Copies of this chain bind each other. A is one copy, B any other.
Amino acid sequence: MPAQLKKISESTIHRLSIYYRALAALEKENRTTISSKELAKRDKLTPAQVRKDLSFFGSFGTRGLGYPVVELRNRIAEIMGLNRLWNVALVGVGNIGSALAQYKEFAKQGFNIKLIFDNDLRKIGSNHKGIIVSDVRNLKSMVVSENIDIVIIAVPAASAQAVCDEVVAGGIKAILNFAPINLKVPDDVVLRNQNMCIELEHLAFALNNKNR
């Protein structure tokens, strides 16, 4: 892998996810090639931006013919780590947690929710779409024994840091946090926050600045 991949920006990674999805859709339609222009148009980007993003992978695509759909999709999958299975543990089966447990796209993209935890005695031991809800007291030991790669935190803000500390102590290096709080993690742990309000705020900004 080229060394400059380490320096790939957050927004590029985000766009790679989008290209990946577009290419998967094109593959289903049996398309063999796609131009940077068409790929750009689908997601309201510029062809130059698309070409720049894809140039990270070295030379790809033929002028006039475009990019080979399957090959490019596989290449992005390889870079992004989407050509393998990731073991995911979900902590908290409240409103958001329950919706996530049933979100079918995760499995399709290789994110296998293997464990579910809660601290509610009425939920522990119950069957959640084929997964028995475990006691959160066993969180640290089970993320180790079940080889969990990624932990999704979907507990209330007040308990999120404690959950986070437990999984970090269990050696977890990647956390997706849905709790509306800034979690503290060591430098070698990657933390992403999913605040459901942020996309609405983008829309509010756009509406607010439409007629100026």
User: Which residue of chain B has the shortest Cβ distance to A184 in the bound complex?
Assistant: B42
Residue of B21, B182, B197 touching A25 (CB-CB under 8 A):
B182
Contact residues of A: prevailing secondary structure: helix
A57 CB to closest chain B CB (Å) equals 13
Report B-chain residues with C-beta under 8 Å of the C-beta of A1. 209, 212
* Cross-chain contact A80 with B190 (CB below 8 angstroms): no
Does A28 have its Cβ within 8 Å of any Cβ on chain B?
A: no
Report B-chain residues with C-beta under 8 Å of the C-beta of A102. 95
How far is it, in angstroms, between the C-alpha of A154 and the C-alpha of B182 when the chains are bound?
27
Does A174 have its Cβ within 8 Å of any Cβ on chain B?
A: yes
Does A198 have its Cβ within 8 Å of any Cβ on chain B?
A: yes
Residues of A participating in the B interface, judged by any CB pair closer than 8 Å: 1, 5-6, 10-11, 13-14, 16-17, 20-22, 25, 42-43, 79-82, 86, 88, 95-96, 98-100, 102-103, 105-106, 109-111, 149-150, 152, 173-176, 180, 182, 190, 192, 194-210, 212
A-B interface, 9 closest residue pairs, ranked by CB to CB distance from nearest: A81-B208, A99-B99, A81-B204, A174-B203, A190-B206, A95-B99, A95-B102, A192-B199, A17-B201
